[in-house]
Chains A and B, each alone.
Chain A
Amino acid sequence: MSNSLMVRFQPTPAAVGLARQQLDLLRDRMTDEAYEDARLMVSELITNSLRHASLAIDQEIELVMRLRGSTLWVEVRDPGPGFEPRPRSKDASSESGWGLYLVARLADRWGVERDGMNRVWFELDEATPPS
C-alpha cells in the first residue's frame, strides 16, 4: 500500500468530514493517539481553508498525506487569498483562532507557506506503533 495520498475536495462544509475519512486509509499503521490527533488537525486545516480562503466552487482544496518513517506529514492547499496565521491568545474570551491553536498544541511542527497556493502543513512524530 502506498505511503502517500493526495485527494481534492470541493470547497463545501462536507469536505471537513470527507478529509478526516481519508486518514482511515492509514489507520492500521498509526497509533490510536496519532490517528485521533491527526483527525482533529486535518479537520482544523480544512475548516481553516473553508472559513478564510473565500473559495469559488471550482477552486478545490487539496489534502496531501504521507508517512515518512514514523512521521506523518499532512498538507492542505487551497488557491484562495490566504490569511494571517494567528493562533489564539491565552485570552479565553476569544472565540476565534481555536483551530490553529489546537494544531500548534498537537503538532510536532507546523507552518504556513504561500507560493501561489496557500499551504498549511503539520508533522506528527511517532505516528506509527514501535515495531
Chain B
Amino acid sequence: MSEHAFDVEVADGTALVRASGELDLSTGPVLERAIGGLLDDPTVRAITLDLRPLRFIDSTGLRIVIATDRHLRAEDRRLQVIKGPPSVHRVFELALLEERLSFVDGDDTGDGPVPR
C-alpha cells in the first residue's frame, strides 16, 4: 500500500494542494476528491499543485492533473504546477505535457505566499 497525503490550504481564492507519497490508481481517487471539492467552490479562482513532496506518478496521476487543468481553464480559472523531483517531472516530459501545463520551479515560489 502506498503511503500518501494530499494537504489542501485555501487563502485569498487560491488553493494550495500538496501531493506527497506515490500517486497511482490506488491513491488517485483521494487526490481527485480533494481537488473535486475545490473545483466545486467558485470562490477558488486558482489551484497550485505542489508536486515537490511527490515520489512517484504514473498515467493515473497525469490524467488527474490534465483533467483539473482542463476543468479550470474552461471556467477561466487556472492551475499552476510546482515541479516535482526529476523522476516525477520526467513523466510529464515523456507525455509531452511540459508545454501544455503551467509549471513553475519550487525555487520561484519558495515557502512564501502562493503565487497568483
Using CB atoms and an 8 Å cutoff, list the residues of chain A in contact with chain B.
Answer: 12-14, 16-18, 20, 36, 39-40, 43-44, 46-47, 50-51, 90, 92, 95-96, 98-99, 101-102, 105-106
Task: List chain B residues, Cβ under 8 A from A99.
Answer: 58-59
Q: Does B91 sit within 8 A of A, measured CB to CB? A: yes
Known pairs A14-B1, A16-B25, A47-B24; A102 contacts B94 (CB<8 A): yes
Task: List chain B residues, Cβ under 8 A from A12.
Answer: 26
Q: Is the CB–CB distance between B59 and A44 below 8 Å?
A: yes
Q: How distant is the Cα of A46 from the Cα of B58 in the complex, in angstroms?
A: 11
Interface string of B30-70 (1 = CB under 8 A from A): 00000000000000000000000000101110110011000
Q: Is the CB–CB distance between B26 and A13 below 8 Å?
A: yes
Using CB atoms and an 8 Å cutoff, list the residues of chain B in contact with chain A.
Answer: 1-2, 22, 24-26, 56, 58-60, 62-63, 66-67, 87, 90-91, 94-97, 100
Q: How distant is the Cα of A23 from the Cα of B67 in the complex, in angstroms?
A: 30
Task: List chain B residues, Cβ under 8 A from A102.
Answer: 58-59, 91, 94-95
Q: How distant is the Cα of A57 from the Cα of B60 in the complex, in angstroms?
A: 21
Task: List chain B residues, Cβ under 8 A from A39.
Answer: 56
Main secondary structure of the interface of A (DSSP, over half): helix
Task: List chain A residues, Cβ under 8 A from B25.
Answer: 13, 16, 46-47, 50-51
Q: How distant is the Cα of A106 from the Cα of B1 in the complex, in angstroms?
A: 25
Q: Is the CB–CB distance between B97 and A43 below 8 Å?
A: no
Known pairs A92-B96, A92-B97; A16 contacts B56 (CB<8 A): no
Q: How distant is the Cα of A98 from the Cα of B59 in the complex, in angstroms?
A: 6
